[in-house]
Amino acid sequence: MLEQNGATQSAPAIAAALRQGAIQATAVQSALGKKLGEINQHWLQRIQQDSNDAWQMLFKVGGTPAVGEKIKLCEQWIEGAMKKAADDATYVLESARALGQIEMKFFTPADTKETDVPTPPASTEGV
């Protein structure tokens, strides 16, 4: 190929690199889409479960004549809600980490194996 307007024989190499980059970007976008779908499905199920639990709680409290039992039911419900909130926080952190790892594949060379990408060390704060 002749040099014309600054273009050299590297044009095919550039085209191949762009093609490989597009393939890699498509794969990463597909993985991100799949993970986001899983996360959305988790939260939809969680919303359904919480809604059902709230209705059951209302029926139990409404059908219980004793005030002491109503208070006990409310305490149990609050305890369960606190546990679910802690589970939600853990799930959010795990999801964010997973999405971050997928996103980092945008910046790794296409010929790098997934096991070659270093993972950050576990936090040692408070130890």
Q: What is the C-alpha separation between 50 and 45, in angstroms, rounded?
A: 9
Residue 77: in which H helix or E strand, if any?
Answer: helix 67-104
Q: Which amino acid is present at 77?
A: W
Q: What is the C-alpha separation between 117 and 106, in angstroms, rounded?
A: 12
Q: What is the C-alpha separation between 63 and 56, in angstroms, rounded?
A: 11
pLDDT tens string 49-60: 999 999 999 999
pLDDT tens string 65-120: 999 999 999 999 999 999 999 999 999 999 999 999 999 988 887 666 555 545 55
Q: Which residues, including other chains, have CB under 8 Å from residue 57's CB and lie 6 or more apart?
A: 73, 77
